[in-house]
Amino acid sequence: MPHAVSRLRAARLARTHTPYRAPGGFKSERCERCRLLPSHCMCALMPRVATRAGVCLLMADIEPLKPSNTGWLIADLVADTFAFSWARTVVDPALLALLQDPQWQPFVVFPGEFVAPGRVITELPQDTVNPAPGAKRPLFILLDATWGEARKMFRKSPYLDALPVLSLQLEQVSQYKLRRSRRDDHFCTSEVAALCLSLAGETRAGETLEAYLDVFSHHYLQAKNQQPIAWEDEAHQRLRALATTPA
């Protein structure tokens, strides 16, 4: 069954008559499941890790169409991934219903320096990390867009205003290689999700998502440069080890 980002991509394609072409990307046939050239397909490596946490992706208009989009990887891994297209004047009723669902405690993930201090937290509540029976599950709301688009989305989404903002304290630099950024502290969506999962006590899921991103990046770049896959490199070995380790 297609996951949330795949369904959002299909809906977005249905609204356009012009195929999306990624700048500098390869134009050949792609695998529908992993979005890579069939010769570089990684579907057999797709992991799935049980998580208590969920992820809600608010995606800028063309993000679901980008082959390099990493929100897709989150949906591959985390069963409870929800994806919605963002628009300033229209809000999907299903998104509003999700934010009101009593099983979830939503957290908007965004840098605290741009938010009123009273809304910002840097750690999750203990009853979220070590839940008692019946406790709400964490739902991480990620703004999947360029940095400029994400700031606009944050400012112009009043339905997010009452929610706590989780500001990640980042000690490393981004390892994402598929799009350029002028700043090392701008993380891709999948990296942010991995950090959130680890913060919620889901260490194995966070590490698996990191490894999955590394493998995807390798396959994507090797396909783009018409180079073979290094199936036994460190990234592949790490992903296989995590996928076979008992939870």
Inside any domain, residue 209? no
Inside any domain, residue 45? no
Inside any domain, residue 98? yes
Q: Indicate the burial class of 57 (C-beta count within 10 angstroms; 0-12, 13-18, 19 or more).
A: buried
What pLDDT, on a 0 to 100 scale, did the predictor assign at position 131? Answer: 87
What pLDDT, on a 0 to 100 scale, did the predictor assign at position 169? Answer: 80
What pLDDT, on a 0 to 100 scale, did the predictor assign at position 134? Answer: 86
Domain count, the chain: 1
What CATH number did the domain enclosing 138 receive? Answer: 3.40.1280
What pLDDT, on a 0 to 100 scale, did the predictor assign at position 57? Answer: 98
Inside any domain, residue 169? yes
Inside any domain, residue 198? yes
C-alpha torsion sign, points 63, 66, 70, 74: positive
Q: Low-confidence residues of the chain, pLDDT below 70?
A: 17-28, 171-186, 245-247
Domain extent for 181: 50-203
DSSP E strands, 110-243 = 120-121, 137-144, 165-166
Tokens found for residue 55:
């992820």
Inside any domain, residue 39? no
What pLDDT, on a 0 to 100 scale, did the predictor assign at position 182? Answer: 46
Inside any domain, residue 106? yes
What pLDDT, on a 0 to 100 scale, did the predictor assign at position 194? Answer: 95
Inside any domain, residue 197? yes
